[in-house]
Chain A
Amino acid sequence: MIELENISFDHCLKCTVCTVYCPVAKATPLFPGPKQSGPDAERLRIKNPELVDDSLKYCSNCKRCETACPSDVRIADIIQAAKWTYWRRRTRPRDFLLAHTDLMGFWGTALAGLVNRAAGAGVVRYLLDIFVKIPKERPFPKYSTSTFKRWFRDHGPDPSVHPDQAVYFHGCYVNYQNPGLGRDVVDVLAALGVGVRITNEKCCGVPLIANGYLDRARKHARHNIEGLARAADQAGGPIVTASSTCAYALMYEYPGILRQDNRAIADRIQYLTRFLAPRLADRPDVLKTPVPLKVAYHAPCHLARMGGVVDTVEVLRRIPGLDPRLLHSECCGISGTYGFKKELYPIAQDVGADLKEKILAVKPDLVVTDCETCAWQIEFLTGLRVVHPVTLLAWSVRGGASSPV
């Protein structure tokens, strides 16, 4: 049985435009590219599911192919489904570790000192490289010593003092690795008169999907849909998230590859900059302090696919003093957990090489991007500091000492 009834492969015009824009096919001849691995092969796979081959693993699910396709073929979804519906997979401990960001995060923050030191230590990285196949060259994102959830419970401002309220889906990265970004979100929203609530959320499911744990991802989806819908009812406001990947998952991967009914939240989720853009237009006064920096803006693949780039650009443009330079959008290569796999790591670095060159050509003070994994990759590639657009907003809103300028 075809589990995913994605018959959009039937609309394929065989124009090969998707393959032109696939960053992985560009970097390695080992991947036949979206047209062949997607619509072309799907035709055969439907007749004979045995016809799946190893080369599917090279697809990073960046969705650049879908953005380019003139005929609305959901190419990346076809490939993801083929990968996990048909492929007799050999789960590796590494993929388990990379997939379970919340489990890793729990222990990572609980034992932050130890884990961060271990993850930085040569011997440990060497062992991870050999036995777990996580490349030793790739720096590991550091765990925070406390979670965002805990900070919010103990110190989060009371949302009811504000006229409006929103539900904030913070995601694993903010929770375990960068609670400061979560505080930036809370502060920027508060400045605009919006109080924040959070839920007992689980990982959005993207790393689970990418590593083949579809059942678990479905469980997370159901949990999140229910919790967010309830909270949004109580708040009487929208659901926002500052992670472009979480936003993409909540809006598109849930009803798409996971086949979960997300109608209870679909119309209420907004990527944060979409929520902010019109409000900042009405209240330019909240952006008090100039941020006189030249920044290069990298639009993450999933945000480009969702059509959120316009909003982020608009928000950046409103920050006084800021000189934002837009980079011609292309994939940074990391694609979530992809670039953390030893066999895919060289491809990820190859894909990112173009972007690195373009960023360095701009000679920016900072790089700005909406996606946490893009940020790791760009920091690693360029050595420059990378921040989220909301962090720049927070500097301007708070002013004073929190700003680096």
Chain B
Amino acid sequence: MKYDVLVIGGGLAGLTAALRLAQAGRRVAVFSAGMSALHFSSGSIDLWGRNPDGRVEYEPFNALAGLPGLRPDHPYNRCGLETIRAALSFFRDECAREGLKLWANGSRNHFHVTALGTLKPTYFSPDTVYNDRIHQAFEQGPRVAILTFEGYRDFHPELAAASLRRHPLFQKSPVTTGRIRLPLKDETGRPVHELRSIDVGRLFDRDQAVEETAAAIRRAAPEADMVGLPAFIGLAGYARVLPRLMELTGKIIYEVPTLPPSILGLRMDQALKNRLAGQGGLLIPGDRVVGGEIRNGRLASVETQMYGPVRLAADHFILATGSFFSGGLVSRPDRMVEPVFGLEIRSEPLRTHWVGRRFFDPGSHPFLSYGVETDERLRPRMPDGRPLDNLYAAGAVLAGYDPIAEASGGGVAVATGYRAALLVLEEDGDRP
């Protein structure tokens, strides 16, 4: 079996790389062990939200322009500003082709409410979370109501309201909270508190309960101009349901991310995977790459859990296996390891240094910036200190950045995934 490019890991970074390569006509296969961080993410793509001193950044591209001086090893510096811009617009177009519209505040950041109710600076948000209409409405000081449904455990409107009230954007806006009763036909006898966003979403995917939900919203927030709802109105159905709810209530309605599984993240996952399938890319879920065979300074093939000794060969490989959370990095009692190839990892030798003093340490956790080190061309070093010619790394597996403190996770994944694809094309002699 031989591919032009074999991508290891089907998260944001791996899928972005695969899509760019498929667009260039490459035969690409993506192997992915489990489901990615997108299933747990807000569906917003953070680019650069906070500076090292903790100050919120409103102009991410200004900060990125100064990054080479500040953090020479940052993965963004392996991409360059132009490539970052190209990557973001490519990503947005690919999502749009599958009907997922991403909104950006020009080239500035905007804030979205997280599942925990905090406000976070981000770059792209699904247009059901933020859009021009909402942006403009804020200038009028709208009355905002944050609602949830009775018994739902994965979202707490009071938390969200409390942090919104502290935010300058909401100075002119009274924020209230409320609960609606979901018009569930009790076929199941399941207690409502067991329902997760995905269970509720299915009602809306079947176009059920829209009228009743609209009426419940009107009752729970008669005064509100704008209503925030936890993102549970369906995986695919939202595009029909949300406009209908707005029409029936006469209110602006926007979605707020919930605790996992996050419907907003899932929609992005599905959009990217559908697009890849449409472009002829092959996605193999549920299989883990466990090692590879190196010949003459190149990775010749890899071995997976299911294929065992059958080797999967390719001209190029992209390692996009994510961080600790996805198993791209693993912590052993005495050290960190990259489990597939045993790549060099940047980390402190002592485990006691790994965790910040407090869990929500404003300086975040040092371990978050650990990962695989690469050269300028995103090629990781092998245990002997040398890179292989045809193995690139992208996304959260990389060292040198802190996705939480910087609010940069999604941007780094998209930019480095895209950059890795360009490097592959370049090596093939394609001028992309």
Contacts and interface: CB of A to CB of B under 8 A. Distances in A.
Interface string A8-30: 00000001110111000110011
A274 interface: yes
A284 to B, nearest CB: 13
A326 B34 contact: no
Nearest to B307: A307
A15 B266 CA distance: 13
27 contacts: A15-B261, A16-B198, A16-B260, A16-B261, A17-B34, A17-B39, A19-B261, A20-B261, A21-B35, A25-B199, A26-B202, A29-B190, A29-B199, A30-B188, A68-B34, A68-B35, A70-B35, A307-B286, A307-B287, A307-B304, A307-B307, A311-B1, A326-B280, A326-B282, A327-B277, A328-B273, A328-B274
A306 interface: yes
Interface string A128-154: 000000000000000000000000000
B294 interface: no
B286 A15 contact: no
Given A20-B198, A68-B34, 7 more contacts: A20-B266, A29-B202, A66-B286, A67-B285, A307-B305, A310-B307, A329-B283
Contacts of B327: 70
Contacts of A67: 285-286
A56 B190 CA distance: 14
Interface string B65-76: 000000000000
Interface in A238-293: 274, 277-278
B404 interface: no
A278 B40 CA distance: 39
A33 interface: yes
Contact of A68 (B205, B283, B286): B286
Contact of B199 (A19, A66, A274, A326): A19
A277 B285 contact: no
A329 B274 CA distance: 10
Contacts of B261: 15-17, 19-20
Contacts of A274: 310
Interface of B: 1, 29, 33-35, 39-40, 187-188, 190, 194, 196, 198-199, 202-203, 205, 260-261, 266, 273-274, 277, 280, 282-287, 304-307, 310, 312, 326-327
A277 B313 CA distance: 13
Contact of A309 (B39, B187, B266, B284): B284
A379 interface: no
A304 B285 contact: yes
B304 A70 contact: no
A70 B307 contact: no
Given A20-B198, A20-B261, A70 B33 contact: yes
B34 A30 contact: no
B312 to A, nearest CB: 7
A382 interface: no
B284 A310 contact: yes
Interface in A51-76: 66-71
Contact of A15 (B29, B39, B203, B205): B39
A329 B202 CA distance: 20
A70 B34 contact: yes
Nearest to A274: B310
A314 interface: yes
A26 B237 CA distance: 13
A69 B260 contact: no
B35 to A, nearest CB: 5
A227 interface: no
Contacts of B202: 25-26, 29
A19 B286 contact: no
A19 B284 contact: no
A306 B306 contact: yes
Contacts of A314: 1
A26 B270 CA distance: 15
Nearest to A22: B198
Contacts of B39: 15, 17, 20
A32 interface: yes
Residue among A26, A70, A304, A329 facing the most chain B CB atoms (10 A cut-off):
A70
A71 B34 contact: yes
Contacts of B284: 307, 309-310
Given A32-B190, A310-B1, A19 B196 contact: yes
Closest 5 pairs between A and B when the two form their complex, measured CB to CB: A307-B306, A70-B34, A67-B286, A328-B277, A307-B287
Residue among A17, A21, A307, A326 facing the most chain B CB atoms (10 A cut-off):
A307
Contact of A32 (B188, B274, B277): B188
A66 B305 CA distance: 14
A305 interface: yes
A313 interface: yes
Contact of B35 (A17, A36, A307, A329): A17
B312 A310 contact: yes
Contacts of A278: 1, 310
A29 B266 contact: no
Contacts of B277: 326-328
B310 to A, nearest CB: 7
B277 to A, nearest CB: 4
A277 B286 contact: no
A278 to B, nearest CB: 8
Nearest to B198: A20
B188 A69 contact: no
A66 B286 CA distance: 8
Given A15-B260, A307-B287, A307-B304, A69 B282 contact: no
A314 B284 CA distance: 13
B38 to A, nearest CB: 11
Residue among A16, A274, A314 facing the most chain B CB atoms (10 A cut-off):
A16
Nearest to B270: A328
B286 A304 contact: yes
A209 to B, nearest CB: 21
Contacts of A311: 1
A8 B266 CA distance: 25
Nearest to A306: B306
Contacts of A15: 39-40, 260-261
A16 B154 CA distance: 12
Contacts of A68: 34-35, 285-286
B342 to A, nearest CB: 21
Contacts of B194: 32, 36
A361 to B, nearest CB: 10
A16 B306 CA distance: 24
Interface in A295-312: 304-311
A308 B307 CA distance: 8
B322 to A, nearest CB: 10
B146 to A, nearest CB: 23
A304 B266 CA distance: 20
Nearest to A40: B194
A16 B197 CA distance: 10
B188 A29 contact: yes
Contacts of B310: 274, 278
A305 B266 CA distance: 21
A305 B312 contact: no
A19 to B, nearest CB: 6
A314 B314 CA distance: 14
